[in-house]
Each structure stands twice: as C-alpha cells, then as structure tokens.
Amino acid sequence: MGRDEREDIRTAAEGPPQESSIRWDEACAFVRRRLGYELPASCRGMTDDLVQECMVRMLRFVRRERVENVEALLTQIARRTAIDALRRRTRWTALVTTDDETVAQVADPLARADEPGDPLERLQFVVVEFFTARDARCRELAVAYFAGEGWKAVALADGRSHDVIRKQWSRCIGMLREAAEDDRGPLLDWARSE
C-alpha cells in the first residue's frame, strides 16, 4: 500500500461513527463480498488468501489508530488489496524468466511464480530484518529509504552529505551481499557473484 492509499484508508476509517467493536466472522464475510466486486473472474481463486490479507491489514491498522467507521475501512482495504494482488501477479512472472539458464537450473523454475506474498515487500523485510540483527545504522537507512524518503531526504534529515549516506549504504549492501552469496532463495538472485 502506498502512502496515498494509506491516507484513503485513514480517511475512510474516520467517517461517521459506527459500532466500534469488530466481529471477525462478519468482517471476513464483508471483505469477501467486496473482493468479489473488485476482482475479475479469473482471479477468484485468490479470494481466500486475499480475505486473510485484508484481515491482517485491518488488524495492523486498528493497532495503530482508532477506527470509527469499520465498514468504510474494510471497503478501502479490500479495494487496495485487490489492486495490489493484481499487480503482484505480474511481479513474480516478471522476475521468472524461463530462458535464464541460472533459473532453469532450479528444480521447478515456474513454481517461483506461485511464491506467496509480494516480492518487493518480502525483499524489503529481508533487508530490514537482516540489518536489525547486524547493524542498527544500516537498518535506520533501509527503513527511511523504504518509507519513500530517498537518499537525499535521508541525508538532509541526518545533516550529512548525500555522498556519505550513499557510501554508508553501499557498505551496508556489501554486508548483505556477502551473507546472501550462497542463498538459494528467489529474492537474492542479484547478490550472487557472476
């Protein structure tokens, strides 16, 4: 979800007050109906996973902020989740190139297209979590960059030059590359030496 989308959801959640408690089963049924409207017929097989995803997003939202209008919130989440799912479907296939010899050596290259979750979100998680365990400064940089700040904004906020930040990030990436050199996962293909 992008920042604008999150704003939409926040606005929706702040609509006219409704019953504040959320009944799980009812919320699931509501989201399922909404997804039915949003998704094309060819994507109906994804509905179960997407209902779950909507519920996780809702849980995360209500942890952070008070929700006044649950129905509006769920409608927005369902819509955004459906759009993300459609985008995501093309993401994995974009990354899987069966004519790539290195991918062809994987036991089942096409199975990569069935990988769960969003590849970019998964890579972002791997990066942040890796630095959480290794280097707090690298983690700060990664979180700021993934939040859409860009290196120039990060440098400005830190009162340091863009070059210094770039060099520091380059050192951070070196650490990750070293750790991922022999990794067999699909997200870290780029880290392997040629």
Partner 1 sequence: MDERDTHLWVRRRLLAWRAGMLDGAEAGRIEAHLADCAECRATADALAPASAGDAGTHLAASLVAAWPRAQQSLRGLERALVRHHLERCAECRQDLESLGYEPRLELVPALEAAEPVTASAPAPAVAAARPTIVRIESAARRAAWRDRAVLAWASLATAAAVLLLVANVRSRWFEAGSAPLLVPGAPVWARGALPNGPFSGLSLRIAPQPRSLSGPAKGGGEAKLNVIPVVGPLSSLALGFKPLNVPDTSLVTVSLLDAGGDTLYAVSYRQWEFRPKRFLVIDRNEAPLTPGSYALVLASQIAKAGREIEKEARYRFELREK
Residues 183 and 175: their CA atoms lie apart, in Å, by: 14
Query: What's the closest the beta carbon of residue 84 comes to partner 1, in angstroms?
Result: 7
Toward partner 1, which CB reaches closer, 26 or 182?
182
Q: Rule CB under 8 A: which of 45-64 touch partner 1?
A: 49-50, 52-53, 55-57, 59-60, 63
Gap between the Cα atoms of 148 and 146, Å rounded: 5
Does 90 participate in binding partner 1 (rule CB under 8 A)?
yes
Please tell me the distance from the alpha carbon of residue 178 to that of residue 192, in angstroms, as a whole number: 9
DSSP code per residue over 35-49: HHHHS-GGGGGGHHH
Closest CA to 1 of 41, 72, 60: 60
Rounded CA gap, 38 and 24, in Å? 21
Largest CA-CA distance found in the chain, in angstroms, rounded = 58
Binding-site size, partner 1 (CB under 8 A): 77
Which residue type is seen at 44? R
Among residues 95, 113, 153, 156, the one that binds partner 1 under rule CB under 8 A: 95
Segment near partner 1 (CB under 8 A), from 14-22, 33-41, 68-76, 97-105?
97-105
**Subset of 106-145 contacting partner 1 (CB under 8 A):** 114-137, 139, 142-143, 145
Of 11 and 16, which CB lies nearer to partner 1 in the complex structure? 11
- Does 193 bind partner 1 (CB under 8 A)? Our answer is no
Q: Does 94 bind partner 1 (CB under 8 A)?
A: yes
Our CB check for partner 1 shows the closer of 38 and 53 to be 53
Report if residue 190 touches partner 1, rule: CB under 8 A: yes
Residues 54 and 81 sit within 8 Å (Cβ to Cβ): yes
The reply to whether 148 sits near partner 1 by the rule CB under 8 A is yes
Query: For residue 15, what are its two tokens?
Result: 């609509």
Q: C-beta of 54: minimal distance to partner 1 in Å? A: 8
